[in-house]
Chains A and B, each alone.
Chain A
């Protein structure tokens, strides 16, 4: 089954404790992206990657890191989480070809930073 998976689905942590949220897709998509979703603000892009070893900042990259060492995986790293990073996070992937670049989203990771 074609899908985007994220782990963990729920995470409660404390300020400053480094964490990683994993994202994996099995559709051979070049493009992968991370978003956060907050009430009233909608989905905001954090980072995106157009292919292996190619990453770029989205609209809200501060406090986050990413890496793309393999095509299928795109982990999101919070080196020193803070309470303002409490949010619902989505990973998404798509092809780069125009006409086929609709994004497929993962199920989401709900993060709470105390």
Chain B
């Protein structure tokens, strides 16, 4: 059975304190690994797609990386506006998406 887990469940950082979020996956025939940001009461917002081990993508203070078993979302010098829940999801050959439970990030000023 396809599964995606994320750690930590919650993370509190001081503004400027860099860290990483982990996404571990067992997805048969992975066609893509997605990262989303979700603000309270809103739908998830797309951040990145990674397709093969070794791939990296960056956007502002965020960088996503992918290995054969894990993906990391690195946050460099975060700001309070980066506070949100970060979701990762695997997309498999069955054409369905499997989401992890998310990491709730709080960045304190």
Instruction: Compute the total of residue contacts between A and B using a CB distance below 8 Å.
Output: 59
Is A74 in the interface zone, CB < 8 Å from B? no
B49 A102 Cβ-Cβ under 8 A: yes
- Our pick among B32, B44, B98 for the contact of A90 (Cβ within 8 Å) is B44
Among B32, B42, B95, B97, the one with the most A-chain Cβ atoms within 10 Å of its Cβ is B97
How many residues on the A side are at the interface (Cβ–Cβ under 8 A)? 27
Is B43 in the interface zone, CB < 8 Å from A? yes
- Say what secondary structure dominates the interface of chain A: strand
Q: How far is the CA of A30 from the CA of B34 in the complex (A)?
A: 18
Task: State the Cβ distance, B99 to closest chain A Cβ, in Å.
Answer: 4
Interface of chain A residues 38 through 61 with chain B (CB within 8 A): 40-45, 48, 50, 56, 58-59
Interface residues of A (CB under 8 A from B): 4, 31, 33, 35, 40-45, 48, 50, 56, 58-59, 90, 92, 98-99, 101-108
